[in-house]
Structure 1
Amino acid sequence: MTQLDDTLKMLKELTDAKGISGNEREPREVMKKYISPHADEVITDGLGSLIAKKTGDANGPKIMIAGHLDEVGFMVTNIDDKGFIRFQTVGGWWPQVMLAQRVTIVTSKGDVTGIIGSKPPHILPADVRKKSVEIKDMFIDAGASSREEATEFGVRPGDQVVPYFEFSVMKNEKMLLAKAWDNRIGCAIAIDVLKQLDGTNHPNIVYGVGTAQEEVGLRGARTSAQLIKPDIAFAVDVGVAGDTPGITEREALGKMGDGPQIILYDASMVSHKGLRDFVTDTADEHGIPYQFDALAGGGTDSGAIHLTANGVPALSITIATRYIHSHAAMLHRDDYENAVKLIAEVIKKLDRETVSKITFD
């Protein structure tokens, strides 16, 4: 087994934490533990987003770095008389990746293990077997024999259900496999950027934010940005890795290990050209690798932040990640570390004059 260094221990704690949209307390506490030593003040807004403030120049511009705390998962909606649990998806799920997967039901009496099930294919007509099982026909089996027994376990409607997976460093130790990279890696980047700024005279006020409820509509990004009123914002999230079999460059450009992705366009926003150019110029200056991507669908917290107040120059910087919105995803440690380095170098240069030039040029 690989010995975990301090960074890997943090990443393990962040990804192991259970927290679907609206249930972000556990990952928020982990983020708070790691970001507090590098912040002057840490608060939580009314929706549950964590906001860590680090002041360089109190009269400088406000720079927001947002990763979201929540992960995709499920919510218990009903228990039938035989003890089987019906559920609602929370965030986007593809039915093909759900069946026979282990889940954790988080109850007031403790965690309960379950597995997602459906009718077995052996009893289905041949034409039905060829089709994907619809989510509405799935259930969670927690080993209860009745509604009463499931209730005795502590299971109640409204309980969160989280994918189960153990954080793993792969044989190639740059490759990291875990649940909830979407988007605990963004939270880790926010933590490490503030850490990188320890002892530096950055000409601004930096806010490292773990937003709530991104997966159901970028909600915490909206409330936290209204509280902060940033002058510049970065959303840090996972992106699509297009380096697995069958994907063409027309479909996805991202490759693991080639650096953080600079998002040109997605369904939630057109990235701010001045900020984008400033970031890539900084990367070129410091020899930090990066890659571009554009997505017809999907979006990040930038989509909500850039519409705050009079408008905020914003950019999404993402980590090429395989198998997102499933039980386990894979990313490359170098991309994460280069994203931290790039954002920290950018922040060191964002004084009032530079932000004004980016905003109004």
Structure 2
Amino acid sequence: MTSSPDCNQPAGQAEALLAHLRRLTDLDAPTGFEEPVLRYMSEQLGSFCEQVEHDVRGNVYASLAGTTADALRIMITAHADEIGFLVTSVLADGFLRFTRLGHPTEMVLPGQRVRVHTASGSLEGVIGVKPGHVLAASEARTVPPVSEQYIDIGATSQAEAVEWGIEPGTPVTFHGPLTATAHPQRYFGKAVDNRAGCACLLELAKRLRQKRPEAHLEFVVVVEEEIGLRGAEVATRRVQPDVVIAIDTVPSGGTPDLRPDELPWQIGGGPLLKVRETKGLSTHGPLRNLFRRVADEQGIPYQLIVDTAGITDATSAQQASGDVAAMTIGLARRYSHSAAELFDLRDVSAIVDLIAHTCGAIASRDQLLRT
């Protein structure tokens, strides 16, 4: 693999990606409540694609015809949803009990700022934490189970919280604005998983409209990834693609609390090419090799990864069709499923470059055959 830190990116690509990321991460769209992101993506994709459609499940489909009528069909996908919470009950004194939506990292919850989304607007809140002054030694070393935690929105009574629009099933998200670090390319915030993938979809649609490949393209924004890769399965059955490229984020190493061999890929090292997912995808070998060849030809850095803890939409897409080549392109990010997922913008831009060039190199089914 190449180790070059830079590649030839179109002027303004990084700036455009960052602008989309700021807007997308500012939107609150937990699983089952993805409408804000779906609306934004539908509007933006409509500027570049010939047709934008929606299914009842919520998936957004944006089509861009290739230059050859009988060419292959490539589906490029990213999920709209973020992890979050659901209110389960309102206590007599106005505090909110809640449950997880997806898999937010439980150890970071106490003291975390959140936003509670009612039908009439969002309310600021905090997940309560017992004062350190009165914690027993054993309590100070443990995180209470989610069933014992609560959200404080400043309400003084159950009636007041209900009057503000709180009811069972009200969604909650982390409060974590996209924030620049002192490093000019590194940012952190909530919902980087997978608004980074959504931003890549928009830039890919813009770029491939200007320089169309032979293949027909379907840019698909899917729902319900965080609770079982559900939207992508529905989308694949509808599109019937020859190739699926799923863009998602992946936990990275490089921090003091991980051994160098635990997650031996890092932010800033380029796109992640998955070889296998634990309990999930075994990526299509010829397609993976094509991505590697294109990366080497274009001087795009990349990292091969094996057996991450999570799985991606490429897994459900691969199983939904018996005749598809599936691949995951990952963005390394630290502090998974927290309010401060940290990433390197150069990796996001390199993902766009790699996928754009590879789409241009896919010309026939013979390239995908495992013989």
Q: TM-score range by the shorter chain?
A: over 0.9
Q: Whole-Å Cα distance in 2 between the matches of residues 39 and 150 of structure 1?
A: 44
Runs of 4+ more than 4 Å apart: none
Q: Whole-Å Cα distance in 2 between the matches of residues 52 and 238 of structure 1?
A: 22
Q: Whole-Å Cα distance in 1 between the matches of residues 26 and 196 of structure 2?
A: 12
Which residue is 1:318 aligned to? 330
Q: Is the 8 A contact 1:229 1:308 kept in 2?
A: no
Q: Whole-Å Cα distance in 2 between the matches of residues 308 and 149 of structure 1?
A: 47
Asked if residue 147 in structure 1 is aligned to residue 158 in structure 2, the reply is yes
Q: Is the 8 A contact 2:64 2:209 kept in 1?
A: no
Unaligned runs of 5+ in 2: 1-13
Q: Whole-Å Cα distance in 1 between the matches of residues 185 and 21 of structure 2?
A: 13
Q: Whole-Å Cα distance in 2 between the matches of residues 226 and 301 of structure 1?
A: 13
Asked if residue 125 in structure 1 is aligned to residue 99 in structure 2, the reply is no
Q: Is the 8 A contact 1:84 1:142 kept in 2?
A: yes
Identity of aligned residues (%): 31
Asked if residue 21 in structure 1 is aligned to residue 31 in structure 2, the reply is yes
Which residue is 1:252 aligned to? 263
Question: 1:8 is aligned with what amino acid?
Answer: L
Q: Whole-Å Cα distance in 2 between the matches of residues 305 and 311 of structure 1?
A: 10
Q: Whole-Å Cα distance in 2 between the matches of residues 114 and 91 of structure 1?
A: 20
Asked if residue 182 in structure 1 is aligned to residue 184 in structure 2, the reply is no
Which residue is 1:300 aligned to? 312
Question: 1:327 is aligned with what amino acid?
Answer: A
1:334 to 1:5, Cα distance in 2 relative to 1, 3 A: closer
Asked if residue 208 in structure 1 is aligned to residue 219 in structure 2, the reply is yes
Q: Is the 8 A contact 2:17 2:200 kept in 1?
A: no
Q: Secondary structure at the match of 1:194?
A: helix
Aligned residues: 356
Scaled by the length of structure 2, the TM-score of the pair is 0.92
Which residue is 1:51 aligned to? 61
CA RMSD in angstroms comes to: 1.5
Scaled by the length of structure 1, the TM-score of the pair is 0.95
Q: Is the 8 A contact 1:221 1:301 kept in 2?
A: yes
Deviation of residue 296 (structure 1)? Answer: 4.6
Q: Whole-Å Cα distance in 2 between the matches of residues 40 and 165 of structure 1?
A: 35
Unaligned runs of 5+ in 1: none
Q: Whole-Å Cα distance in 2 between the matches of residues 248 and 208 of structure 1?
A: 37
Q: Is the 8 A contact 1:166 1:178 kept in 2?
A: yes
Deviates more, 1:240-249 or 1:257-266: 240-249
Q: Whole-Å Cα distance in 2 between the matches of residues 192 and 284 of structure 1?
A: 22
Q: Deviations over 1:198-236 (max 9, x none)?
A: 232411111111110100000111111111111001111
Asked if residue 231 in structure 1 is aligned to residue 242 in structure 2, the reply is yes
Which residue is 1:334 aligned to? 346
Q: Deviations over 1:113-142 (max 9, x none)?
A: 110014334434322332222211111011
Q: Whole-Å Cα distance in 2 between the matches of residues 281 and 257 of structure 1?
A: 20
Q: Is the 8 A contact 1:253 1:292 kept in 2?
A: no
Deviation of residue 72 (structure 1)? Answer: 0.6
